[in-house]
Amino acid sequence: MPFLRPIPFSKIAIVGLNDDKDTILSVLHDLGTLQVEPVDKESLAQIGPGKMNERQREVADRLVRFRGLLAALPKPGGAPPAPVRFEGLDQILRATETIPIDEEVGQLKREDDQLTTERRGLEQTVMLLQQFSQYTGRYDELRARNGIALFGEGDSEDVAKWKEQLPATRTIQVEMRPIEDDRVRFLFAIPAADAEAVTRTAAVHRIQLFGVPSGVAGTSAEELPRLVARQTEIDRRKSEIATRLSAISAEWYSRVAALTEALEIENRKFDVYTRLGSSDRGFVLQGWVPKRELPALRSALETSVQHRAELYPVTTTEEPPTFIENPHGVRRFEFLVRFYSLPQASEFDPTWVFAFVFPIFYGLMLADWGYGLVILGICLWMIQGFPGRTHLPKGLKKFLTSIVSPAGMRSLAYALVPGCIIAIGLGLTFNSFFGAQVIPGYNSPIDPLHHVGPYLKVAGFIGIGMVVFGFALGALKEYFHHRIRHALAKVGGIVATIGLAAFGLGLLAHTQGGPTSISFLGPVALIVVGALLVAFGEGAQNGLMGVMEMLSHVLSYTRLIGILLASIILATVINTVTIGPDGHSGLIGGSAGMIAGGSAEVALKAVLFIVLGLVILVVGQVFNLVLGVFEPGIQGARLIFVEYFSKFYEGNGKEFHPLKTRRVYTAPLYRPAPPSP
C-alpha cells in the first residue's frame, strides 16, 4: 500500500486461443484485478476487431427473465445459502431450464399489480366521496355528453376572484359549501369547450379541481359501503398472493438468485468481446492491472490454460486509472477528496494529509467543548443511521437531504468526529462551554481572546508549512513527469514563500534592519530568486502574480483564528446580554432578583425580560452552533482545496473499474492455489 500515492498500474496485453477465451475471461473476472480496455489501433490492424458471440443474445434474454423472477419473489430472511458453483455457461443454461415457476409467478404478479392499481383508484374515489359528502345526489346525473362536472376546493377569497374570471357563459353553476379555515368546497358544471380555460385559471388562483370519479353511479351513501367492501376483498386477495409468493420464494429464491447472478457474470464477460482483437484462431486483450497483481495474474493464466496464453507489457503514454487504497480510518476522508476531484494515477493522493490536517483545522476553529459535544452527538446520530428521523420536521429533512445524500452525510459525520474531539479538548483547555467559563477559578493561560498575536503567528506558520509542502509535492510531481522547468517553478515557489515569511516575521518582530542589512537583503533576495524561478518555469507574467498569490495563500490561513475569535465573541455577547458576565446580571440574571422584592407590575416585567432573555439565549446559541457546524468545515476544506491543492493537484482521475462482479449466491470458477510453504 503506497503512502501518498495511488496504486501503480501496468498496461498489459494477453494473447490466447479462441478455445480458451471463456476460461481466460472467467479467470480474469474471478481475480477482479484487470480493467479491460479497447485494443489499440496497431494491434487491430494486425488481428482485426473482436466479434459478438452468438450466445450473448440467449444469455441476455434469460437474464431478463430471471431478473423479473427475482424482482417478483420476496427475499426470504436469514443468511444466504452456500454459494453454488457452475462449471461453465452450458451448465448455467441447462440449469435455467429446470425452473418451472415462471407462469405461476408471472400470473400472480400481474394480478397483484392490477389489484394494487385498482385499490389506489378506490382510495382516491373514497377520499373524494368523503370530502364532498355534502353532495347527496346521484353521480350518474353529473355526466353529460357536452358538459363536464367538477368538484373544487380552495380559499373563499381565491374562489371568489376565480369566479369573476370564469368564461362569460350562463351555463356555469357554482354551489358554495363552506368548511373550516375559510375554505370552501363546491360543485360546478361547465360546457366541455370551456374546460381548458376554467382549469387554467383555477391553477392560477391555487384552486384544486377534481373530476367526477368513474365507476360511481349512485349516491355517496350507496357507493361508499360498496367501495369499502371491494377494498377489503382486494386486501384479502393480495394477502393470499403474498402468502403464495412467499411459499414459492422459500423453495426457489436462492436457486433463482444464483442463476441470475451467474447470468449477469456471463453477460458482463460477453460485453468484453467487443473490446478484443480477434482472428480465426486467437484473440488479444489489453487492460490495466495493478503492478502488485501481475505475478498472481501471470500464475493464474499459466495454471488455467497450461501456458497456452502469453502476457506482455504494453508501452504507453496513456494515463492509467486511479485506485487509491488507504487504511480504514484515513479512508473516511476519501469522501471529501472525491467531492473535490479524484486524483490522477500519476499524482499524489492527498487523503493522508486531509485526514491529518482537516480535523486540526476544524477543532481549532470550533474550540468549545459545549459545541463540540453537541456536534459530536449529531455526528454519532448520523453514523447510526438517523434513528428517530421520522420525528424531524419535514422542511428540515428536505433541507438536509438537498445538501448531500444520506450516505454522504454519514461519510461527512465520520470525518467530523476527530475534529469534534479536538474541539472538546481545546474547549476544556480554554475553559469555554458555549462561550462561558464553567470551571470555577480557572483562567486559561492560552485564552485566544487575550493572546491574539501568538495565535495569528501560529496560523501563519501553519500556512507557510502547508504552502511549502504543497509546492514540494508539486516539484516532485513535475520532476517525475520530466518537466524540469515546471519543477524549478515549484522550487521557486518554496524559495519565495520562505522569503516572504522571513520578511513578514522581521516586520512583526521589529527586527528588520535597513535596506543594506542582511535581515532585509536576505528575505528580499529569496523573494527575487523565487520569482525568477517561477518566471523561468511558467512565464514572466506569472512570476509577479505567483509571488502575490503565495502571500495571499499564507495570509489566508489566519482565518483559522478569525473564525475562532468570531465564534467566541458571538457566544460571549449572547451570554453577556442574557445571563451577564457574573451570572447575576443581563436580561435573565438581572430580572430574577426583581421578582422577589418588587411589586406585581415589576415582577411581570421581570418575567417578560426573563422570557425574552431565554429566547435570545436559545436562538443565539443555536445560530452560533449552526455556524460551528458549517463554517469550520467549509473554511477548513477550502484552505486545503485552494491554498494547498493548487500547488500540485489537478484531479479528474479515471476511477479503476475492473472486470468483476460481487458474488453472493455463486462460487468463483477459478480459485488461486495456496502459497507454497
* Model pLDDT, residue 393: 67
Percent of the chain at pLDDT exceeding 90: 43
* Model pLDDT, residue 576: 85
* Model pLDDT, residue 577: 85
* Model pLDDT, residue 233: 96
Count of CB atoms situated within 10 Å of the CB of 34: 24
Average pLDDT over residues 153-160: 85
* Model pLDDT, residue 321: 95
Higher pLDDT: 510 or 273? It is 273
Confidence of residue 172 (pLDDT cuts 50, 70, 90): very low
Residue 49 DSSP class: B
* Model pLDDT, residue 395: 63
* Model pLDDT, residue 127: 87
* Model pLDDT, residue 385: 78
CATH number for the region 120-232 comes to 3.30.70.100
- Model confidence at 358: pLDDT above 70: yes
Distance of CA 608 to the CA centre of its chain: 45
* Model pLDDT, residue 288: 96
Higher pLDDT: 581 or 197? It is 197
Average pLDDT over residues 588-604: 65
Confidence of residue 428 (pLDDT cuts 50, 70, 90): very high
Q: Could you give the residue range(s) of every CATH 3.30.70.100 domain in the chain? A: 120-232
CB 635 within 8 A of CB 563: yes
**Which tens digit of pLDDT belongs to each residue from 617-627?**
899 999 999 99
What are the residues facing 210 on neighbouring strands?
151
**Which tens digit of pLDDT belongs to each residue from 535-569?**
888 877 777 777 788 888 998 999 999 999 999 99
Average pLDDT over residues 191-216: 84
**Which tens digit of pLDDT belongs to each residue from 486-500?**
999 999 999 989 988
**Which tens digit of pLDDT belongs to each residue from 275-319?**
998 888 889 999 999 999 999 999 999 888 888 899 999 988 899
Rounded Cα gap, residues 38 and 275, in angstroms: 4
Average pLDDT over residues 444-473: 90
Q: Going along 516-654, which residue ranges are E strands?
A: none
Dig out the grid coordinates for 672 from the structure. Answer: 488461486
With cell 425452473, the residue in question is 99
Average pLDDT over residues 161-171: 66
* Model pLDDT, residue 578: 83
Confidence of residue 261 (pLDDT cuts 50, 70, 90): very high
Q: Going along 169-296, which residue ranges are E strands?
A: 173-178, 183-191, 208-211, 277-278, 282-290
* Model pLDDT, residue 676: 46
Residue-averaged pLDDT of the chain: 86
* Burial of 109 (C-beta count, 10 Å sphere; 0-12/13-18/19+): middle
* Model pLDDT, residue 503: 82
- Model confidence at 173: pLDDT above 60: no
Instruction: Write b or e for each residue in 490-524: b if 16 or more Cβ atoms lie within 10 A of its Cβ, otherwise e.
Output: bbbbbbbbbbbbbbbbbeeeeebeeeeeeeeeebe
**Which tens digit of pLDDT belongs to each residue from 412-426?**
899 999 999 999 999
What CA–CA distances, in Å, run from 480 to 11, 210, 256, 494, 639? 19, 70, 52, 18, 26
* Model pLDDT, residue 392: 65
Confidence of residue 41 (pLDDT cuts 50, 70, 90): confident
Average pLDDT over residues 230-247: 95
- Model confidence at 457: pLDDT above 80: yes
**Which tens digit of pLDDT belongs to each residue from 57-74?**
899 999 999 999 999 999
* Model pLDDT, residue 317: 86
Instruction: Write b or e for each residue in 287-309: b if 16 or more Cβ atoms lie within 10 A of its Cβ, otherwise e.
Output: bbbbeebbeebbebbeebbeebb
* Model pLDDT, residue 608: 82
Rounded Cα gap, residues 359 and 382, in angstroms: 18
Confidence of residue 188 (pLDDT cuts 50, 70, 90): confident
Average pLDDT over residues 14-19: 91
Q: Which of 184-198, 387-401, 456-470 is least confident?
A: 387-401
Rounded Cα gap, residues 450 and 457, in angstroms: 14
* Model pLDDT, residue 660: 92
- Model confidence at 176: pLDDT above 60: no
Average pLDDT over residues 139-157: 82
What CA–CA distances, in Å, run from 16 to 21, 25, 310, 628? 7, 11, 7, 61
**Which tens digit of pLDDT belongs to each residue from 312-342?**
999 888 999 999 999 888 988 998 898 889 9
**Which tens digit of pLDDT belongs to each residue from 563-580?**
999 999 999 899 888 887
| 121 sits in which H/E element | helix 102-131
